[in-house]
Amino acid sequence: MNAVNTLILESKQARLFRNGVIVLLSSLLIALCSKISIPLFFTPIPLTIQNSLILFLAVLLGSKKGFSSVACLLAQTAMGYSVLSSGAFGLASFVGPTGGYLIGYLASAFLTGLLAERSSQKSTTRAFLCMAAGNLFIYLLGALHLSTFVGFSSALWLGVAPFLLTDLFKLLIAAKALQLFGWNK
């Protein structure tokens, strides 16, 4: 193996290690922020910043690292760590009332990151639109799964409607925060 091939291999290994650290730290950040939640007495879904943070990280990190961060978080959940806002853990978390939201987190992280990567302009407005699309996807998958417990109409009233205004506000803040990380340059 010549020196050029050695350098390429080392740089690939360094990039893989760096990306692994980013994914792990991102999943831990999501887990830490999941503890900031407000249980609502009328719905099994708590008010949390976890979903907005996932969408923010997806725009910031891109589709692959955003997806991987959420996959790492869900793996931690499956292994029994309490890293979700509901405090749920283990495989049962995925089949309970909030299970659709968890799968929605994973799918929307990829979707949001992909939309951001393919965006022709890097503006606050474009970031907001990418995250809003991801948030709608979370609502869709979450409400569809929740509907198996309470019916579709109730799922919309319990799992979507109470969060529309707060999620809009959180996405506006997240879009603005992306400017601090230089996303719009």
Average pLDDT over residues 46-64: 94
pLDDT band at 185 (very low <50, low <70, confident <90, very high): low
Average pLDDT, the chain: 90
Percentage of residues of the chain with pLDDT beyond 70: 94
Asked if residue 126 belongs to a domain, the reply is yes
Quick one: pLDDT at residue 9? 58
Q: pLDDT band at residue 29, thresholds of 50, 70 and 90? A: very high
Domain contains 43: yes
What pLDDT is stored for residue 8 in this prediction? 60
Q: What is the mean pLDDT of residues 111-137?
A: 95
Q: By residue range, what is the domain housing residue 118? A: 3-180
Q: Decide if pLDDT at 142 tops 90.
A: yes
Domain membership of residue 19 (yes or no) is: yes
Mean pLDDT of 136-159: 95
Residue 152: its pLDDT value, please?
95
Residue 44 pLDDT grade (very low, low, confident, very high; cuts 50, 70, 90): confident
Residue 6 pLDDT > 60: no
Could you tell me the CA-to-CA distances from 113 to 119, 131, 142 in Å, in that order? 10, 9, 19
User: Does the residue 36 lie in any domain?
Assistant: yes
Classify residue 185: in a domain, yes or no: no
- Cα–Cα distances (Å) from 136 to 16, 29, 140, 143, in that order, read 32, 23, 6, 10
Number of structural domains found in the chain: 1
The pLDDT value recorded for residue 85 is 74
CATH assignment at residue 60: 1.10.1760.20
**What is the C-alpha separation between 60 and 5, in angstroms, rounded?**
31
Residue 66 included in any domain:
yes
